[in-house]
């Protein structure tokens, strides 16, 4: 009887590990980057120009956008990241945190009950970048906040 109870308790404790959904994967051949896609996010198909894809969580609760680009208006990665960051602040996003190096940049912000998490990396050729942007409602923070750090860490160049 003790063995049966111990086995039952072990199985109950293991259920949360089995219940966790697996992360998906997305690789972009045009720009040469990859990332893990959190469980529950469904791809909407690669963009017509092949720069990335939008993934929606639970219909439209959260929106994850992944894209790549080349430095056109800006001369380097840092300038490009600063320009995108400035665009967000000019659009009224209130910055909660920001951090950057010469090869990556990340920031989080809020606006009108929404949360924005953006992360960018420089690509191997030195002439381009990959970026992810996760937007969701403040009320959905308990569902989505824990996905942010693993998502950021998963964005990598494929060189």
**Is residue 138 in a domain?**
yes
Of residues 2 and 42, which shows the higher confidence score? 42
- The domain tally of the chain equals 1
**Is residue 65 in a domain?**
yes
**Is residue 27 in a domain?**
yes
- At 9-20, the pLDDT tens digits run 443 444 344 346
* Domain interval for residue 129: 22-157
Residues in Cβ contact with 87 at an 8 Å cutoff, skipping those fewer than 6 apart:
none
The confidence score (pLDDT) of residue 159 equals 86
**Is residue 152 in a domain?**
yes
- At 62-111, the pLDDT tens digits run 999 999 999 988 889 999 999 999 999 999 999 999 999 999 999 999 99
The pTM of this model reads 0.84
**Is residue 56 in a domain?**
yes
Q: How many helices (H) and strands (E) does the chain have?
A: 3, 10
**Is residue 121 in a domain?**
yes
CATH, residue 83: 3.40.1000.10
**Is residue 15 in a domain?**
no
**Is residue 7 in a domain?**
no
């Amino acid at each position: 009887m003790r063995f049966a109870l111990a086995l039952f308790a072990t199985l109950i404790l293991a259920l949360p590990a089995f219940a966790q959904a697996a992360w998906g994967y997305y690789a972009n051949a045009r720009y040469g980057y990859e990332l893990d896609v959190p469980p529950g996010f469904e791809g909407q198909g690669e963009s017509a120009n092949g720069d990335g894809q939008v993934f929606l969580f639970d219909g439209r609760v959260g929106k994850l956008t992944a894209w790549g680009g080349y430095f056109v208006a800006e001369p380097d990665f840092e300038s490009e990241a600063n320009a995108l960051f400035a665009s967000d602040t000019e659009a009224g996003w209130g910055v909660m945190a920001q951090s950057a190096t010469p090869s990556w940049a990340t920031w989080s912000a809020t606006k009108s009950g929404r949360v924005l998490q953006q992360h960018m990396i420089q690509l191997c050729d030195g002439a381009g970048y990959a970026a992810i942007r996760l937007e969701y409602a403040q009320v959905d923070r308990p569902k989505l906040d824990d996905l942010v750090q693993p998502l950021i860490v998963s964005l990598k160049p494929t060189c």
